[in-house]
Structure 1
Amino acid sequence: MRLAEGIVIDKEKTFGTLYFSSMRREVFERDEEGNPTTTLKERTYDLKSKTAGMMIQVSIPASVEEKKFDYDAEVELVNPIVDTVANATYRGADVNWYIKADDIIARKGSSTGTAKDAVKKPEENHKVG
């Protein structure tokens, strides 16, 4: 794989468990003059990363339907890559890192409900009988 195609990562070691937060923004194509068009290019979502200990943003192609998971639902990335964009400055370059994936899906074996929904009442955990 060439660096220009992005850096393939081990998603479990890099992100750990991911929790859905919300859609951050929609990015639209630009015309020859740099003006935004009505053609959707990608959607960017906020996900909470257990391993990173922070919110990460992941961009998904517009060809994938909009994701509407419950808040805090466990999700996983399909074919994530990390890539960069460098902008030349007077003193060198500023580099921005970004994460792209083919899709965001519900994690196997997890419900799409919130983490609060998964907590049982104490009497349900310790039935005597």
Structure 2
Amino acid sequence: MRLAQGIVIDKEKTFGLLKFSALRREVFLQNEDGTVSTEVKERTYDLKSREQGRMIQVSLPASVPLKEFDYNAEVDIINPVADTVANATFRGADVDWYIKADDLVLRGKGASGIAEKASKTPSDKDK
């Protein structure tokens, strides 16, 4: 069973302040023969959530570049959606929750610092 569009989340009320911890895992696509390919499907990151009082995991699509923020850097998740997967058992069902997002960015001063640094670096077009 899956929710049609997932549950849209009010980030501030649900997570509060988020701090980056680490890359938890990378999920790889499978080849036609069932073996694991080298192409990344998605990456899951551990974030500390003040409101939840524990670590949460957030998955981002592979099209988003690898995030290598400093430990405990304050971050913001872009367009988070919670969803579930339920598997029937003899006693009912086991339900797993997961959170997916479009991106993960530094919050506050860190994000503007990166933007400034990027704007000062000459691009390949300028060469």
TM-score in terms of structure 1 length: 0.79
- Look up the equivalent residue of 1:22 and give its one-letter code: A
Match of 2:103 in 1: 103
Listed one character per residue, the Cα deviations across residues 34-84 of structure 1 (whole Å, up to 9, x for unaligned) are 432222100000000011110000000000000010000000000000000
- Look up the equivalent residue of 1:28 and give its one-letter code: F
Match of 1:63 in 2: 63
Match of 1:82 in 2: 82
Q: Structure 2: state its 5+ residue gaps.
A: 112-127
| Distance (Å, rounded) in 2 between the aligned partners of 1:60 and 1:78 | 10
| Distance (Å, rounded) in 2 between the aligned partners of 1:50 and 1:11 | 11
Other structure's SS at 1:67 match: coil
The percent of aligned pairs where both chains have the same amino acid is 66
| Distance (Å, rounded) in 1 between the aligned partners of 2:32 and 2:6 | 26
Other structure's SS at 2:51 match: coil
> Are 2:48 and 1:48 equivalent residues in the alignment?
yes
Q: Return structure 1 stretches of 4+ with deviation > 3 angstroms.
A: 31-35
Tell me by how many angstroms 1:3 deviates: 3.2
Other structure's SS at 1:4 match: coil
Tell me by how many angstroms 1:108 deviates: 2.1
TM-score in terms of structure 2 length: 0.80
Check conservation: 2:3, 2:84, Cα contact below 8 A. Answer: no
Match of 2:93 in 1: 93
Check conservation: 2:80, 2:101, Cα contact below 8 A. Answer: yes
Other structure's SS at 1:14 match: helix
Listed one character per residue, the Cα deviations across residues 78-106 of structure 1 (whole Å, up to 9, x for unaligned) are 00000001112122210000000000000
Choose 1 or 2 for highest CA Rg: 1
The count of aligned residue pairs is 111
Q: Structure 1: state its 5+ residue gaps.
A: 112-129
Match of 2:118 in 1: none
Question: Aligned Cα RMSD in Å?
Answer: 2.0
